[in-house]
């Protein structure tokens, strides 16, 4: 039989069919399509994963920025509180300080001279601090205001007798109690995720 060139494809396909060649072709095509699909799926998943990582990175930057701002504010709040606490402590423990050059500073005068500074510092940050502090620490803040006012009332007295000294120590003991609780509460608060979620109750 004379086989013409144009009959070659037909004969080849017939031969492949006779010897199970179709199975080979289908298997190869299936493998090729499966590999192609897997690569495209992998690429799609990789793009989706990259998008999620980008979004997460942006969110973490925002959270880091928020944390830094909140941290600065709360540290400023406690620094103002602690400065006034120390002035009250010195006024309780000593009537005056004598320096090496012989200068004597009355702790009562130091208290009154720095009172306006404390008031101004608190006025500048109290509103923002109220939004950040959890209810437990906000309650302590309110108690500290009352305790500082009670101490101030004692310092207004003009008679420096034993009752004055006793009432001054009693008023400061309340401030000392609040300072310990506030410091402990802030330390725990700053070490948790609650600082980024001020809605904690």
Residue 118, domain CATH: 1.20.120
The mean pLDDT of the chain is 78
The answer, yes or no, to whether residue 17 has pLDDT greater than 60, is no
State what percent of residues in the chain have pLDDT above 70: 63
Distance CA 23, CA 17 (A): 9
The answer, yes or no, to whether residue 1 has pLDDT greater than 70, is no
- The number of folded domains in the chain is 1
In a domain, 167, yes or no: yes
In a domain, 4, yes or no: no
In a domain, 115, yes or no: yes
In a domain, 52, yes or no: no
Q: Tell me the mean pLDDT in the region 125-149.
A: 89
In a domain, 20, yes or no: no
| Domain membership of residue 125 as a residue range | 67-196
Q: Tell me the mean pLDDT in the region 124-153.
A: 90
Name the most confidently modeled range: 23-27, 49-53, 57-61: 49-53
In Å, how far are 12, 15, 16, 19, 147 from 3, measured between CA atoms? 12, 14, 17, 20, 113
State the DSSP H helix or E strand holding residue 190, giving kind and residue range, or none if neither.
Answer: helix 162-190
The answer, yes or no, to whether residue 27 has pLDDT greater than 90, is no
């Amino acid at each position: 039989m004379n086989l013409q060139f144009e009959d070659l494809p037909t004969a080849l396909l017939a031969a492949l069919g006779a010897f199970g060649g179709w199975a080979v072709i289908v298997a190869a095509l299936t493998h090729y399509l499966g590999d192609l699909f897997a690569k495209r799926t992998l690429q799609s998943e990789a793009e989706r994963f990259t998008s999620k990582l980008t979004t997460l990175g942006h969110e973490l930057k925002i959270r880091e920025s928020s944390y830094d701002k909140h941290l600065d504010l709360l540290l400023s709040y406690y620094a103002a509180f602690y400065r006034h606490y120390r002035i009250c402590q010195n006024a309780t423990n000593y009537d005056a300080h004598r320096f090496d050059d012989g200068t004597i500073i009355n702790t009562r005068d130091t208290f009154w001279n720095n009172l306006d500074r404390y008031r101004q510092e608190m006025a500048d940050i109290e509103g923002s601090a109220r939004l950040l502090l959890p209810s437990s620490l906000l309650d302590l803040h309110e108690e500290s205001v009352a305790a500082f006012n009670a101490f101030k009332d004692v310092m207004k007295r003009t008679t420096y007798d034993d009752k004055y000294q006793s009432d001054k120590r009693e008023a400061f003991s309340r401030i000392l109690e609040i300072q310990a609780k506030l410091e402990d509460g802030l330390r725990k608060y700053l070490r948790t995720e609650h600082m980024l979620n001020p809605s904690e109750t």
